[in-house]
Amino acid sequence: MEEQLKALQEQMEQDAAAVGSTEELSAFWQKYLSKNGSVSGLMKGLRDVPPESRPVVGKAINQFKVQAEEVYQNLRARIEQAELENANRSEQIDITMPAVRRSTGALHPITITKNQMIDVFAGMGFEIFEGPEIEDDDHNFTRLNVAKNHPARDMQDTFYVAEDIVLRTHTSPGQIRVMDREKPPIKVLVPGRVFRSDSDATHSPMFHQMEGLVVDKGITLCDLQGMLDKFVQTIFSGDVKTRLRPSYFPFTEPSVEVDVSCFECGGKGCPLCKHTGWIEVLGGGVVHHKVLENCGIDPQVYSGIAFGIGVERIAMLKYGINNMGLLFENDLRFLKQFKD
Ligand code: PHE
């Protein structure tokens, strides 16, 4: 018995040395300490030991049991500790590690400019109206006082979709659509894409305009200048002013070309303003009485002002862009400069 115990003890020490995981630990427990384990086996075998030797052998078995339990507890503590350390290591976070940067999109400079323009006029009480990009000749020309064969049709190189159907050459047909629907007082802004067969550094076959229309009793050119002053001051700089120059549009009379005093040189003269101190920014005028009549509005009672602003032109001036193509090529190196 004594020898058996000794062999078992040696075996146990060997087994203990090989335990490295929870599974092995549990196998160790099964082998030595479970109901069917070696210790139980020894206890059962005590029956066969002569009664006089039983106290001694029983004591030895007991000692072995205590020893096996102690070995087991030590192993368990070691393995738990090792597993905890493992878990800690695998869950470790290096808070000094730079975060993965996710690049976000940004608004296109045309959208930024358009939004700013809408903001200025919305602040003055303008509502927004959007008309169709494909227009009939009637809205795009005739009812704007541009009759068939009118030489002014040549001013705008029109894309025809079908006979009498065009890609709108300006946002002015929005005036007609609004006045057909609403009666004065009217104060609307018509932003949108327009199309002309024209392409160079300052022209693109598709570009954006923003039409303004105000119709009420007693509206004059002064109202136009007052609103546009506020507009250019917000968009460019607080101390710029506007200048109206006589011009011609079939749908306004009088018609004006609106210049802004050069925000780059303050009016002294520089390359941006071509040494004139002024930069042309938009066209406008007093709504022609025929246009009001064409929409059933009595020009004896009401008057109106209208203006058309090129969004690309404003963006190019604002950001110092010298080629309109840049606004449509969508080169990321260009676009990323507008990310705020
Ligand atoms: N529609 C004109 C253009 O495209 C601009 C304009 C709008 C002029 C309104 C006068 C009044 O050039």
pTM comes to 0.72
CB-ligand 1 contact for 141 (6 Å cutoff) = no
Ligand 1 neighbour 172 (Cβ under 6 A): yes
**Which numbered atom of ligand 1 lies nearest the CA of 194?**
4
How would you write the pLDDT of the chain (340 residues) with one tens digit per residue? 778 888 888 988 898 888 888 899 999 899 999 998 888 888 888 888 888 888 888 888 888 889 989 989 999 999 999 889 988 988 888 889 898 888 888 999 999 999 999 999 999 999 999 999 999 999 999 999 998 888 767 656 899 999 899 999 999 999 999 999 999 999 999 999 999 988 888 889 999 999 999 999 999 999 999 999 999 999 998 889 999 999 999 999 999 999 999 988 888 998 888 999 999 999 999 999 999 999 999 999 999 999 999 999 999 999 989 899 999 999 999 999 998 6
- CB of 312 within 8 A of CB of 209? no
Which atom in ligand 1 lies closest to the alpha carbon of residue 308? 7
